Amino acid sequence: MPIIEIGNNKKYELLSILAVGTSGNIFKGEDIETGRIVAIKIKTKISSLTRAEGTILSLLNHPNIVELVSYNHIREIGYIVMGYANSGDLHSYINERKIKNEYQARNIFQQISRGLCHAHSVNICHRDIKPENIIIFDQTRFVLGDWGFATSFSRKRGHVQRCGSLGFCSPELLLGKPYIGPEVDIWALGVTLYTLMEGRCPFFGIDVDETVDLIVNGLYIIPFNWSDELADLFSRMLTINPKERITINQILEHPWMKLDESVGCYSNNYLRKKEIIDSPSVSTWKSRPLSNSTLSHRDGRTSRFLRQPSIDIIKREAEPYGNIPVVPLLDFLAENDEEKESTKKTKLSKLSPRSLWRSFRKRN
C-alpha cells in the first residue's frame, strides 16, 4: 500500500479506504513510526469552506468530538489525520437494531449532546449532524465526526451557506433564511434523536416535494409509546421558529436527560422493522396519511404530532414559514465572501420544493 508523508516527517501507510466523499476520500492508515491506526481524510477538492476543517478541529478538545492528530495542505491537497473509529458509525448501529429502549437511546444522545455543547461553547457549529457523521469507538463512545461543513459563528452576523442532508435540514435552511448556526444544529440533533428511537427520519414523504413541505411546516408524528419527557424534548428541538428553539445547554438540563434506567423505556417489540434510508432517496417510503397526523387540544389549537388522546403535551408553536417566498440558494461561501454576498439584492423566487432541493444538492 502507498505511504504518504504529512508534515514534520510523519509518514503513514494507507491500508484501506473507509469512505468516499464529494471532496475526497477517507482512508484507514497506520503511523509508520508508532504503529497507531488512524483515519486519514484526503481532500482533493479544496474550497474556502472545506479548507477550514483542520483549523476548526484544532480548536476542539472533547471525548465526544473526533480527535485531530494532525493536518496539512500540500500542493492543494488537504490531509487531516484523525482518531480511527473501530466500531463503525451510528447509521449502521441503528440499522443493526442495537437500540432496545429509551435508556440506551438516551445514553447515546447524551454523549452527542455533550460534544455539541463543547463546540457551541467555543462558537463552532457543525452544520451536518446525522447518524452517518457520528462515529463509534470501542462500541461505547459516540463521537461527532466529519466537520467539513463546520464554521465559526457570531450572534452579530448570520450565515447564508446551505449544508447538510434533506431529512436533517431545518426550515430556515431550506427557505434560504439567514441563520446563526447553533439553531440548525439543534434541529438536526432533534431529527437524529427521532432516528435513534424510530430507525427513520420524522420527515419522510412519498416524494421530495412532500418531504420539504413536512419540514417547512413542522409536520411530524410522535409515537404514542414515547415517554412524556421525551416527547416534550423532541418537540422543543423541532420548533419551527429558530428563535424559540431550545438551546444545547437547555437540552442537557431537560428532565428526560436525567431519567434513570428504570424510567421511560419502550417495549422491545417496537417499530424497529424499518431501516434508515439515505436522503434524498425518499420515494422508497410512503408516509402516513397527513389527515391522521394532528390532534385538537381542548382550547381549539392544533398539535402537530400524534399521541394517545389522554396525554396532553403542548408543543411550542410559531408561525410556519410555509407562506414565505423562497430565496434562491447561494453557493457555499467562505466567511469573508458572505459579507460581500450579503450586499447583493437577491430576487425572490417561486421555486417548487423539488426544484429547490435539486438546486441545493448541486451545491452540496
Residues involved in catalysis: 128
Convert 176-200 to b/e letters by CB count within 10 Å (16 or more is b).
bbebbbbbbbbbbbbbbbbbbbbbb
- 12 strand-pairing partners: 4, 31
What span, in angstroms and rounded, lies between the C-alpha atoms of 132 and 129? 8
Q: How many CB atoms lie within 10 A of CB 355?
A: 14
Nearest of 221, 215, 192, 206 to residue 304 by alpha carbon: 221
- The answer to whether 64 and 120 are in contact (CB under 8 A) is no
Spatial neighbors of 240 by CB under 8 A, at least 6 apart, are 171, 217, 218, 317, 318, 319, 320, 321
Q: Where are the alpha helices (DSSP H) in 166-207?
A: 171-174, 182-198
Residues in CB range of 294: below 8 A, 6 or more apart: 219, 302, 303, 304, 305, 306
Residues for the chain: how many in total?
A: 364
Report the alpha-carbon distance of residue 299 to residue 252 in Å, rounded: 31
Q: Output the CA torsion 325→329→330→334 (10° steps).
A: 100
Side-chain-side CA neighbours of 303 within 13 Å: the count stands at 21
Q: Are 1 and 14 in contact (CB under 8 A)?
A: yes
Q: Which residues pair with 125 in a beta bridge?
A: 151
Contact 254, 248 (CB under 8 A): no
- Lookup: cell for 330: 447561494
What are the cell numbers at 317?
A: 408553536
